[in-house]
Chains A and B, each alone.
Chain A
Amino acid sequence: DIQMTQSPSTLSASIGDRVTITCRASQSIDSWLAWYQQKQGKAPKLLIYKASTLASGVPSRFSGSESGTEFTLTISSLQPDDFATYYCQQYRTYSPLTFGGGTKVEMK
């Protein structure tokens, strides 16, 4: 199984901060990685796919990058609407498909 190790599990930040979340795959997944945002009590929402492609309607302050098996989600300037939990997901293989453990971005 491909393990997705996401860090940190919790992140405290202020409006305007640059925020970085990391996800490391246990083996190569090429660029088959997505990032989702989930707000409390709501369904997840796709932010980024293929490691760095912004989903439709997602603000440009969100970006994704990769270096080998390490993937990064960056919020360039944190906005009030961005306080949420973020998950990475690999879809290189469906045997099984795996999510990271999540990163909760909270207000400092």
Chain B
Amino acid sequence: EVQLLESGGGLVQPGGSLRLSCAASGFTFSTYAMSWVRQSPGKGLEWVSIITHIGGTYYADSVKGRFTISRDNSKNTLYLQMTSLSAEDTAVYYCANAYCSGGACFHFDNWGQGTLVTVSS
């Protein structure tokens, strides 16, 4: 059974930093792209970042230069380092996996339950 378990969320002051983690199990982690998607209270889904199975990284413009996605295949864990946080970053952050093949990565097969990040003074 695939499991994605996010952690690291919490209350942080504006301008602060936070690191999220996503522990994965039940699939071959190194063959999947991993992504972060967030959802602000009462709003829709917003893609944040993705790291491919071969380490390529992509970011939404809203977080580029502030957030860094990384992965540790030896620990089956995905990370999101967030800096210069503002109230607009308040959201539930989900991790999700996407199968990759032939150089392409596809839809999000599985999602974690999310971790809440609240940016407030």
Q: Which residues of A contact B (CB under 8 A)?
A: 32, 34, 36, 38, 42-46, 49-50, 55, 87, 89, 91, 94-102
Whether the Cβ atoms of A87 and B111 lie closer than 8 Å is no
Contacts of B50 in A (CB 8 A): 94, 97
Whether the Cβ atoms of B108 and A89 lie closer than 8 Å is yes
The number of chain B residues with a CB under 8 A from chain A is 24
Whether the Cβ atoms of B46 and A99 lie closer than 8 Å is yes
Whether the Cβ atoms of A97 and B58 lie closer than 8 Å is yes
Distance A46 CA – B106 CA, assembled complex (angstroms): 12
Distance A42 CA – B94 CA, assembled complex (angstroms): 10
Whether the Cβ atoms of A96 and B111 lie closer than 8 Å is no
Residue picked from A32, A38, A94, most chain B C-beta under 10 Å:
A94
Whether the Cβ atoms of A49 and B94 lie closer than 8 Å is no
B14 to chain A, nearest CB (A): 25
B residues 96-117 near A (Cβ < 8 Å) are: 96, 98, 105-114
If A43-B113, A91-B98 touch, whether A34 touches B108 (CB-CB below 8 Å) is yes
B residues 5-63 near A (Cβ < 8 Å) are: 35, 37, 44-47, 50, 58-61
Q: Can you name 27 A-B pairs with beta carbons within 8 Å?
A: A34-B108, A38-B45, A42-B113, A43-B94, A44-B37, A44-B45, A44-B108, A46-B107, A46-B108, A49-B106, A49-B107, A50-B106, A87-B45, A89-B47, A91-B98, A91-B106, A94-B50, A94-B58, A95-B58, A96-B58, A96-B61, A99-B44, A99-B45, A99-B46, A100-B44, A102-B44, A102-B45
